[in-house]
Amino acid sequence: MNFMVEVRNLHKRFGHHEVLRGINLRVKPSEVLVIVGPSGSGKSTLLRCINGLEHATSGQILIEGVDITDSRVDINAMRQKVGIVFQSFNLFPHLTVLRNVTLAPIKVKKMRPEEAEAKALQLLKRVGLEDKAQAYPSQLSGGQQQRVAIARALAMDPDLMLFDEVTSALDPELVKEVLDAMKDLARSGMTMLVVTHEMGFAREVGDRLIFMDEGEIVEEGKPVEIFTNPKSPRAKDFFSKILSHL
């Protein structure tokens, strides 16, 4: 069995603080893995390690069988296979929406500008924003900016997409449009790791859910099973707090 992502005994320490304490994880191609847990549990750090934004203190991270913690591996080449969407969008404010999406394909993949633009327009259409191609990020709503960020990541043709609390900074009425774009992506067969507090999304789209707390994976299974029947006290406590509002 080939895994898209395989994490082996991953530890990450910031100074004296150990954020990840031995994470083991395997994600199959086309699987949608939802990661939940209280803040400070290490969810975001795990994602950031998987695309090399943070260096693992110890352990291995294999993307399509290649260990990205190996210093001989070309991290820039590996990152092209792993797209990430951030909580704070991080669009390039000095570039139009179209240039945001085409910049990396042109500069990194050396794609011809016309080709990159045609592809970008297609991706923007997919997230419902083809009419905003010439706008600047500051002229868009948060939900629109986040959908541009998704299109921008997809423009590099990644095999794996990471979503780091992408709806947490959005006004409630803008959350749905972003989740819809992600659902569409999940249905198309993209492998996704999604850190989120949107339990509705987790239940509907997630193939598997892991619950993290204090740098460890505490529980793992089908989203519905974990929601309805969490085994550990920590998971019970967490889900009783956030699911009571549903």
Partner 1 sequence: MVDIDERWKKVLWLLGILISLGILAFLVVFFLRFEAGRTFRAEFFNGRTFRKAMPYVLGGLSLTVRLALVSEVFILVVGLIIALARISKNPILRALAIVYIDVIRGLPLLLQIFIVYYGLAYLGFKLDPFVAGVAALTICYAAYEAEIFRAGIESIHKGQMEAARSLGMGYMQAMRYVILPQAVRNVIPPLSNEFIALLKDTSLLSVIALAEVLRRGTEMMGKYYNVTPLVCAALCYLMITLPLMRLVQYVSNRLSEGR
Residues near partner 1, by CB under 8 A: 51, 53, 76-77, 79-80, 82-84, 86, 88, 90-94, 103-104, 107-109, 149, 152-153, 156
Q: Nearer Cβ to partner 1, position 5 or 209? A: 5
Q: Hunting for tokens 């868009």 — which residue is that? A: 140
Structure letter (DSSP) for residue 38: -
Q: How far is the CB of 135 from partner 1 (least distance, A)?
A: 16
Q: How far is the CB of 155 from partner 1 (least distance, A)?
A: 8
Q: How far is the CB of 92 from partner 1 (least distance, A)?
A: 6
Q: Nearer Cβ to partner 1, position 32 or 149? A: 149
Decide if 103 contacts 95 (C-beta within 8 A): yes
Contacts 24+ apart (CB under 8 A), 94-100: 95/136, 95/137, 96/133, 96/134, 96/135, 96/136, 97/124, 97/129, 97/132, 97/133, 97/134, 97/135, 97/136, 97/137, 97/140, 97/148, 98/124, 98/133, 98/134, 100/137, 100/148, 100/152
d(CA 244, CA 246): 6
Q: Nearer Cβ to partner 1, position 21 or 48? A: 48
Q: Nearer Cβ to partner 1, position 102 or 196? A: 102
Q: In what order do the strands lie in the sheet with 66-67?
A: 17-27, 5-14, 58-63, 66-67
Q: How far is the CB of 66 from partner 1 (least distance, A)?
A: 15
Q: Nearer Cβ to partner 1, position 84 or 209? A: 84
d(CA 117, CA 197): 34
The closest of 22, 25, 12 to 160, measured between CA atoms, is 25
Q: Nearer Cβ to partner 1, position 109 or 112? A: 109
Q: How far is the CB of 53 from partner 1 (least distance, A)?
A: 6
Decide if 212 contacts 218 (C-beta within 8 A): yes
Q: How far is the CB of 76 from partner 1 (least distance, A)?
A: 5
